[in-house]
């Protein structure tokens, strides 16, 4: 089979590899489409501290099961599935309380083990989620990115009284905007980004107000409009954002962060406790595939709005370059196998 392999940082190739056989409890998926995420580019450039090389990258993938390992129902062969990249031990404290996404032995498909930029990938059978026929193949590839939004929203519990502020209108911000609008029905969605074209995407995906906070002062804008965000999602993930979010949030507000920057930022207890703010973090997803499949099946979210490009897998380098360098036009790029 052909696989996209990062042999070592900076060196990516399409390699011929033996077709993997599913171990007991696993299934093999024939990949149809896979989506490019920022973390794939980070592994390519050697900027992901968790990656081991050589590595088949890709953790957003859709296809059909073509082989099952011992102990897996053979009737699953032929099933259309999306793969959850979170592989967990099932025994540690986080796993026992339903948070396998932070399992002490966490293995992320495409990061710690070989992923979905390949004609075939093997994953635990429980990670392969059946996709109803009503969801087309390319949209099903978007299930994983929406699980990130599902995970942070499940913790923040948005509701109709909420005035939401989302920092960042990249794929993570846009999936969150769609969920806040289409699933949770928040009152208002305000989005801040520094790229006008991305703010336009935010409007298309459901934002009520957009602010270019590279040009305009966000605090001033909110004051002028008499708005105190009750729910803030940082999907831009710059360390300067959390202190600002704490100062902008309404009393009793909630703030969700999803960044991995190692750079420190300065926050004060007073800023948090005086308003009794809730600050949560969210990593990957904890069993959110069924939730997102249900959202898609019910038409609550529109994954097609995020898919801007599609390339044959052979053009992976061009696809990754477009994804990385053209933030004005590009949102989600799919590879076709």
Of 289, 300, 4, 279, nearest in space to 130 by CA: 289
Least separation in angstroms between residue 101's CB and ligand NAI is 8
Contact between 139 and 109 under an 8 Å Cβ cutoff? The reply is no
Residue for token digits 């796993």? 95
Give the Cα separation of 292 and 122 in Å (integer): 22
Contact 69, 23 (CB under 8 A): yes
CB 141 within 8 A of CB 59: no
Report which residue's Cβ sits closest to ligand NAI: 170
Cα torsion at 136, 137, 143, 146 (round to 10°)?
Answer: -70
For ligand NAI, the binding residues in 70-129 under the rule CB under 6 A are none
Nearest distance in Å: CB 91, ligand NAI: 23
Token pair of 190 as six digits: 């305000």
Contact 202, 210 (CB under 8 A): yes
Q: What is the size of the binding site for ligand NAI (CB under 6 A)?
A: 27
For the record, the structure tokens of 8 come out as 């070592």
Q: 3 or 282, CB closer to ligand NAI?
A: 282
Q: What does each C-alpha distance from 234 to 32, 64, 88, 91, 209 come to in angstroms? A: 32, 34, 26, 31, 16
Residue 237 sits in the site that holds ligand NAI (CB under 6 A): yes
If one asks whether residue 229 binds ligand NAI (CB under 6 A), the answer comes out as no
Ordered DSSP codes for 135-178: S-HHHHTTHHHHHHHHHHHHHH---TT-EEEEE--SHHHHHHHH
The verdict on 213 binding ligand NAI (CB under 6 A) reads: yes
Task: Pick the stretch among 71-79, 119-127, 153-161, 233-241 that binds ligand NAI (CB under 6 A).
Answer: 233-241
Site for ligand NAI in 127-156 (CB under 6 A): 148
Min CB(237)–ligand NAI separation in Å: 3
The residue (of 113 and 194) whose beta carbon lies closer to ligand NAI is 194
Site for ligand NAI (CB under 6 A): which residue of 34, 43, 82, 169?
169
The first and second tokens of residue 94, run together, are 């986080």
Please list, in sequence order, all residues whose beta carbon lies within 8 angstroms of the beta carbon of residue 86, skipping any fewer than 6 positions away: 100, 101, 103, 106, 108, 109, 127, 284, 285, 286
Q: Contact region for ligand NAI (CB under 6 A) — 134-142, 219-227, 253-261, 304-312?
A: 253-261
* Number of neighbouring beta carbons within 10 Å of residue 326: 14
Rg (CA), the chain: 20
CB-nearer residue toward ligand NAI: 212 or 336: 212
Choices 57-65, 154-162, 231-239, 301-309; region in contact with ligand NAI by CB under 6 A: 231-239
Can residue 171 be called a binding residue for ligand NAI (CB under 6 A)? yes
**Residue 194 engages ligand NAI in binding (rule: CB under 6 A):** yes
Nearer to ligand NAI, 167 or 311 (CB): 167
Tell me: does residue 60 bind ligand NAI (CB under 6 A): no
Answer yes or no: are the C-beta atoms of 272 and 246 closer than 8 Å. yes
- Least distance in angstroms from the C-beta of 284 to ligand NAI: 5
The residue (of 187 and 238) whose beta carbon lies closer to ligand NAI is 238
> Token digits for 4?
């996209």
Residues 260-319 that bind ligand NAI (CB under 6 A): 260, 282-284
Choose, by CB under 6 A, the member of 100, 116, 259, 303 that binds ligand NAI: 259
Residues between 22 and 41 with contacts to ligand NAI, criterion CB under 6 A: 38
- Give the footprint of ligand NAI on this chain (CB under 6 A): 38, 148, 167-173, 192-195, 198, 213, 235-238, 241, 258-260, 282-284, 327
């Amino acid at each position: 089979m052909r696989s996209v392999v990062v042999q070592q940082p900076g060196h990516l190739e399409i390699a011929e590899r033996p077709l993997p056989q599913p171990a007991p409890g696993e299934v093999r998926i024939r990949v149809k489409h896979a989506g490019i995420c920022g973390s794939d580019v980070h592994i390519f450039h050697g900027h992901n501290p968790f990656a081991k090389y050589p590595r088949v990258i890709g953790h957003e993938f859709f296809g059909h099961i073509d082989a099952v390992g011992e102990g897996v129902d053979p009737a699953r062969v032929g099933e259309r599935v999306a793969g959850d990249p979170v592989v967990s031990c099932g025994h540690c404290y986080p796993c026992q309380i339903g948070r396998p996404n932070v399992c002490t032995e966490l293995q992320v498909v495409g990061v710690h083990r070989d992923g979905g930029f390949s004609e075939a990938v093997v994953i635990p059978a429980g990670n392969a989620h059946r996709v109803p026929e009503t969801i087309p193949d390319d949209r099903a590839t978007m299930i994983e990115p929406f699980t990130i939004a599902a995970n942070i929203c499940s913790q923040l519990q948005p509701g109709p009284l909420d005035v939401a502020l989302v920092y960042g209108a990249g794929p993570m911000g846009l999936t969150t905007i769609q969920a806040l609008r289409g699933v949770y029905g928040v009152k208002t969605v305000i989005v801040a980004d520094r790229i006008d074209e991305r703010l336009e995407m935010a409007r298309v995906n459901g934002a009520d107000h957009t602010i270019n906070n590279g040009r305009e002062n966000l605090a001033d804008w909110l004051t002028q409009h008499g708005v105190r965000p009750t729910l803030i999602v940082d999907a831009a993930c710059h360390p300067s954002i959390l202190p600002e979010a704490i100062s902008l949030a309404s009393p009793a507000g909630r703030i969700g962060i999803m960044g991995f920057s190692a750079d420190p930022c300065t926050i004060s207890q007073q800023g948090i406790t005086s308003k009794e703010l809730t600050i949560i973090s969210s990593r990957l997803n904890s069993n959110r595939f069924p939730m997102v499949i249900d959202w898609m099946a019910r038409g609550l979210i529109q994954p097609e709005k995020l898919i801007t490009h599609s390339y044959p897998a052979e053009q992976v380098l061009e696809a990754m370059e477009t994804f990385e360098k053209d933030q004005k036009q590009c949102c989600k790029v799919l590879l076709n196998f």
